[in-house]
């Protein structure tokens, strides 16, 4: 019974890489490459799956992640989404995907109606290049979020961080 609505029960996650390359282990670099988080302040969207949870936990000392809200997805699509041709994501492009606006597209991503691999194959780059957060990080990027730092799982607090980084 639990699998019957698995499409609807998936959460949309945002992961942001906070630390750079020095002194990282090859297996962690491979994990970060699989997540498409190659550089500091890169972010990407994912649907929650067991494999993804393992990858995020493995690379927890280099990134932070949490559940995205529709407003955050809309904001990041409007401000930071790029097409492979070097252009911005527009409402005209979303109409080609079958959605009337970026807002409707964001809601479809949150609900799980649009598979992310289909979205990335449509011509949208799978990585969002963010800025350092306005006002700086609240804690150090060497300690976990629960320990007063910035790394690891942060739940809904990821939305505030992403808004400050766009």
Q: What domains, with CATH codes, occur in the chain?
A: 2-69+128-165 (3.30.1390.20), 70-121 (1.10.15)
The residue assigned the tokens 């670099």 is: 29
Would you give the distance in Å from CA 83 to the centre of its chain? 16
The predicted structure's pLDDT at residue 86: 85
Whether residue 21 is predicted with pLDDT greater than 80 in this model: the reply is no
Q: φ and ψ at 88, to 5 degrees?
A: -80, 155
The predicted structure's pLDDT at residue 5: 40
Q: What is the mean pLDDT of residues 128-141?
A: 92
For the stretch 22-49, pLDDT in tens is 656 889 999 999 999 999 999 999 999 9
DSSP state of 11: P
Does residue 109 or residue 2 have the better pLDDT? Answer: 109
Is-contact 46 116, C-beta < 8 A?
yes
The predicted structure's pLDDT at residue 22: 61
**Angle, CA of 132, 136 and 141, to the nearest 5°:** 80
Q: φ and ψ at 162, to 5 degrees?
A: -65, -40
Query: What global pTM score does this model have?
Result: 0.89
């Amino acid at each position: 019974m639990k699998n019957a609505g698995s499409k609807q029960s998936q959460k949309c996650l945002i992961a942001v890489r906070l630390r750079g390359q020095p002194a990282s282990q090859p297996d962690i670099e491979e994990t970060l490459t699989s997540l498409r988080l190659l550089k500091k302040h890169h972010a990407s969207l994912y649907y929650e799956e067991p494999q993804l949870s393992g990858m995020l936990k493995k690379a927890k000392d280099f990134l932070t992640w949490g559940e995205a809200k529709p407003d955050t997805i809309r904001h990041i699509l409007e401000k930071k989404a790029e097409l492979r041709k070097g252009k911005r994501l527009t409402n005209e492009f979303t109409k080609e995907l079958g959605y009337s606006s970026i807002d409707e597209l964001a809601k479809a991503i949150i609900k799980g109606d649009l598979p992310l691999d289909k979205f990335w194959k449509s011509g949208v780059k799978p990585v969002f290049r963010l800025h350092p957060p306005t006002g700086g990080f609240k804690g150090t990027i060497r300690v976990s979020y629960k320990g007063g730092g910035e790394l690891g799982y942060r739940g809904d607090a990821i939305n505030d961080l992403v808004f400050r980084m766009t």
